Structures are given as structure tokens and as C-alpha cells.
Structure 1
């Protein structure tokens, strides 16, 4: 593979590894929000309108921004009916084809996300809940997660293409 592709794969994988490891700790933020909600409601009889929606936003950011790292680690769910018995090269060809579909899907999703972010910023969109927080921050986080997933999908495509042509770009399981 050309040096530019190898550099792309290296830097995208390294960046998503850092972001993914940081995002692992967001689960503790989510736990703190839910704990505060439970204690506030049951011990102090507080009505914390913001906690449920904040927990939802936190979870959304957690799985969308962390999705690229999950793809990097190859830990997404895969239907393995025949795949496991195929040669590594045939797996690479199949993965490269499915990566192409994933990239197309993520491009469409990113176009929609950019449009949604633009709308939220232009019209100061707020949630329709009783709390009514602005929607732009979570939409920006979601768009960022989709972008990271797209970049990682392209990196994965290049790696699978290398396997399909018996010229692997990186060693297997280097990011675990």
C-alpha cells in the first residue's frame, strides 16, 4: 500500500485509540448522573428534571464517539455463519465490500448530521422536554462520533483491502 494510506491508517487508528480510551471513563459520568438522580429523588425529594435527559445525552455521546474505537478493536457484532471457515484473504475481500457499504451509510448519516447541526445552531433548537436544553451540543457530539466512525471505517477498508491482496498494512490485534 502507498505510504499515504499507511500514514492515514496509523494516525486514524492512533487518534481513535486515544479518544476511545478517554470515552471509556464517560460511563462513570453517566453513573454519577444516575446516582445523583436516585439519591436526589429518594433521599432529598428533589425533582431533578435535567438528570434523565442528561443521562440520555451522555449515553448517546458514549456509544457514538466510542463507536470508532469499537470498530478499531473489531468488537462489533458479526454474524459468523460461514465467515469463520473462510481463508483470511476471502474474509478480507468480504470485509472490504461490506466496509464500502458502511462508508456509504456513514456518509449519508454525516450529511444528515451536518444538516441537523446547522438547523440546531441557526434556530437555537431546544429539547421539547420540561427542562428544554439546547440541542446543538449533543448534535455536534453525535456528528463528531459519526465522523470518527467514518474515518475509522475508511482505515478499516484500507486494512481489509491489504488483507485481500495479501499485503497487510498492520499486524493483527495491535490495538488491544
Structure 2
């Protein structure tokens, strides 16, 4: 099985387009590390230097970290940086890697992302309707913006999954890796 140059160009163009949402959101979300670290540093100084802990730093840092983690997931998937047993996977030919990745994407990843996105959309919508707050925190901050990140993450991962499926197809059709040794397409 082989792939024409024109077909390969179209496939690579499609994956680049599908990678854009995850890349933009992932790179933007990376900036959440700045206020997160700022809140942590402020809390440590306030607590240990001035003996005056804050009520808000813990809530801010866990919400920022949660958003950072979730919004960076599609970007990480697009870079092929998620954890897997590469020592077993890498001894296979690119075609078999594509078959395994493609099968897992179709039969495990897409159904999981569908159910995750639907469930978390309802979860976030209910939170918005109720104006939900965190009852375990003294400040009781709003939580619905953070809960909205979950269905957005599911949608971004679903789009990235389509790109990953096309990359698997490329490996199956050409018996070559889609990315070079450095992970670049």
C-alpha cells in the first residue's frame, strides 16, 4: 500500500488544520502558570513571613492548575507527548503502530471523549444554572467557569483525535511514521 504525494500533502494539511484549536488553546492556557505561581508565592510569603495566610490562594491555585491541565490535554496529544509503553510500541513497524493507534482511537478514545463531553456539558450547564460555589472553601468562590473547561476539553480532544486518526491512517498507508524522530510532522 502506498500514498501519492498529493494525497500525503492533503492529509498533512488536514492534520495541521485540525491541530490548530488544541495548539492555540494549549499555548494560551500555558500562561495560566504565571498567575498560579504568583498566587503560590504570595501565599507562602504571606503565611511564613507575615504569619497572615490568605483565604483565596488555595482556591485560585487549584482552579488555575485544573484549567491548565485540562486545556493543555489536546495540545499534549497533538505533540504525541502522552504517556504510553513506548518500549513495546516502538519495536513495531510504523504500519502496526498506526493500526494499534487507529483502533484504540476509534474504539476507545472517541467513545470515551463523546461520553465525557456530553456528561461534562450537562454538569457544567447545571453548575451555571445554580450559580454553583465551592462550599468547602471559606470564600465560597464560583466554580462554574472551571466546570465549563471540561466540555471544552472534551471537544478539543475530540477534534485532536480526528487528527490523530488521520496520522494513524498515514502510518498504515505508507508504513512510515507521521512524525520524525524529534516528534515533528
What TM-score do the two structures reach when normalised by structure 1?
0.87
| 8 Å contact kept, 1:88–1:163 | yes
| Mean CA deviation greater in 19-28 or 88-97 | 19-28
Q: Spell out, residue by residue over 1:6-49, the C-alpha distance to the aligned partner (whole angstroms, 9 max, x if none).
A: 65422221232232222333222211110111111222333311
| 8 Å contact kept, 1:106–1:149 | yes
What TM-score do the two structures reach when normalised by structure 2?
0.83
User: Are 1:117 and 2:124 matched, yes or no?
Assistant: yes
Structure 1: which 5+ runs fail to align? none
Distance in 1 between residues matched to 2:10 and 2:142, nearest whole Å: 40
| 8 Å contact kept, 1:17–1:69 | yes
Q: CA RMSD in A?
A: 2.4
Structure 2: which 5+ runs fail to align? 1-6
| Residue 105 of structure 1, aligned match among 99, 112, 115 | 112
Distance in 1 between residues matched to 2:66 and 2:86, nearest whole Å: 28
Q: 1:111 deviation in Å? A: 0.9
Query: Match for residue 101 of structure 2?
Result: 95
Distance in 2 between residues matched to 1:29 and 1:23, nearest whole Å: 11
Q: Spell out, residue by residue over 1:113-155, the C-alpha distance to the aligned partner (whole angstroms, 9 max, x if none).
A: 1011111011111111211111111011222222212211121
Q: 1:169 deviation in Å? A: 10
User: Are 1:131 and 2:156 matched, yes or no?
Assistant: no
After the TM superposition, which residues 19-168 of structure 1 pair with which residues of structure 2 at under 5 Å, given as runs? 19-100=25-106, 101-128=108-135, 129-166=137-174
Between the two proteins, the alignment pairs up a number of residues equal to 175
Q: 1:5 deviation in Å? A: 6.4
Q: 1:87 deviation in Å? A: 0.6
Are residues 4 and 86 of structure 1, via their aligned partners in 2, closer, same or farther at CA, if it must alter by over 3 Å?
A: closer
